[in-house]
Chains A and B, each alone.
Chain A
Amino acid sequence: AQSVTQPDIHITVSEGASLELRCNYSYGATPYLFWYVQSPGQGLQLLLKYFSGDTLVQGIKGFEAEFKRSQSSFNLRKPSVHWSDAAEYFCAVGLAAGNKLTFGGGTRVLVKP
């Protein structure tokens, strides 16, 4: 069965500092990989997705993620966080971009001024 693990439940980072969120997955085949952000009172917003091609994927809001097949990982990074990046971040996998998704437990990011 597929599973997604986000080892960090909370991360606190200073504004302007870099951010890295970890995601590991277990899947029978190479899945589609996603990162979503959920802000209070708002729906899930897709940051980026990966299926094939360049393993470094650029997304919206200055985020990028790197797929490492050997480590079954898809870590999300941002070089310099802004206070508005404080939110819950979910890694997800699926057979297709429009198919049902399996989500990780989420990482809550707090940004210190």
Chain B
Amino acid sequence: GAVVSQHPSWVICKSGTSVKIECRSLDFQATTMFWYRQFPKQSLMLMATSNEGSKATYEQGVEKDKFLINHASLTLSTLTVTSAHPEDSSFYICSARDHRLAGGPGDTQYFGPGTRLTVL
């Protein structure tokens, strides 16, 4: 089946630094990827929709200058947490929509394994 990878799987950084998380679709093209955030023992909250070649669409309450999203190719989206602070510590999960199947009966998305960010 289709695979979505995330890198790194975990990262620890100091407060004030920036961290980049990659989301890759390994065997399919994804014009659309989604970024979710999951706090410990809580549900997933959609942060933004990443569209290849255009600006991301952020959900209400998500700071676009804080969470920079770049979707420069059909297989890669990146989330950069800028000037990270301890409250940004969370589990970040991406999903990717299979471009070939979008809008059709087989339309689906695949989730990455997640990236755990800890900001000290």
Contacts and interface: CB of A to CB of B under 8 A. Distances in A.
8 contacts: A43-B93, A98-B101, A98-B107, A100-B49, A103-B45, A105-B42, A105-B43, A106-B43
A99 B101 CA distance: 12
B111 interface: yes
A90 B44 contact: yes
Interface in B20-72: 32, 34, 36, 41-46, 49
Interface string A34-59: 00100001111110000000000000
B42 A43 contact: no
Interface of B: 4, 32, 34, 36, 41-46, 49, 93, 95, 97-98, 101-103, 107-109, 111-114
A101 interface: yes
A96 interface: yes
Contacts of B34: 100-101
Interface string A75-113: 000000000000000100000111111111110100000
Nearest to A36: B111
A111 B43 CA distance: 21
B111 A43 contact: yes
Given A96-B107, A106-B43, 11 more contacts: A43-B4, A43-B113, A43-B114, A44-B93, A44-B95, A45-B111, A90-B43, A97-B109, A98-B32, A98-B108, A99-B97
Given A43-B93, A44-B93, A96-B103, A102 B46 contact: yes
A75 B98 CA distance: 27
Given A43-B93, A44-B93, A100 B46 contact: yes
